[in-house]
Structure 1
Amino acid sequence: MKPLRLLTLAAAGLLLVACQTPEERRAADSNTCASYGFRRGTDAFATCLQRIELDRRAEARSMRYSNDLMMWGWSRPIVVERPLIVRPK
């Protein structure tokens, strides 16, 4: 029981850490680009910020796709129609 409780607390902690406001995310991205050597206000800096955001969006799409695969497997739900033939009497 103790490992399960520890795992639950760790998962809750990770979820809380993952919650960032857009301003915090933008500041972290700006610091990342500055640490790469780009100067604020330049086109290269803007491109760096854009690439980080595009990477974040691609990661989110990938997670949605993998969640769909986990839920449905390789094949999506299929609608099967059965024709109903009605013969007059």
Structure 2
Amino acid sequence: MLSTRLVAILLTGLLLSACQTMTPEERRAADEAKCRDYGFRARTESFANCLMKLELDRRAERRSFRDSAAMDPWYPWGPPLVIERRVIIRD
């Protein structure tokens, strides 16, 4: 019984450690390495454009995921709420 709990605790810790995200510094270093791999030289305008495009792609991916998840009926908050205010004009 004790060994089963110990294994469960260890597996939970292992799964949680796999969910670790990159720090901003690690992400920047990875982006710089990717742009260097593409052949851009550091401290040039094309290198800066490469970094900018990588960041813009990352943001677009996040927006796309967020928007597609929001349209899912099983998403906790449901689809976006649209409030319509009708104005009735009488002659």
Task: Quote the offset at 1:59 in angstroms.
Answer: 0.4
Query: CA 1:44/1:78 → structure 2, altered by over 3 Å: closer, same or farther?
Result: closer
Structure 2 matches for 1:13-28, cutoff 5 A? Answer: 14-16=18-20, 19-28=21-30
Tell me the equivalent position of 1:86: none
Q: Which of residues 49, 52, 55 is equivalent to 1:50?
A: 52
Q: Distance in 2 between matches of 1:11 and 1:42?
A: 41
Query: CA 1:78/1:58 → structure 2, altered by over 3 Å: closer, same or farther?
Result: closer
Task: Quote the offset at 1:15 in angstroms.
Answer: 1.8
Structure 2: unaligned runs, 5 residues or longer = 1-7, 85-91
Structure 1: unaligned runs, 5 residues or longer = 81-89
The two structures have a TM-score, normalised by structure 2, of 0.63
Structure 1 stretches of 4+ moved >2 Å: 8-14, 76-80
Report which structure shows greater RCO (CA 8 Å, sep ≥6). Answer: 1
Q: Distance in 1 between matches of 2:48 and 2:67?
A: 29
The two structures have a TM-score, normalised by structure 1, of 0.65
Give the 3-state SS of the residue equivalent to 2:43 in structure 1.
Answer: coil
Query: CA 1:78/1:55 → structure 2, altered by over 3 Å: closer, same or farther?
Result: closer
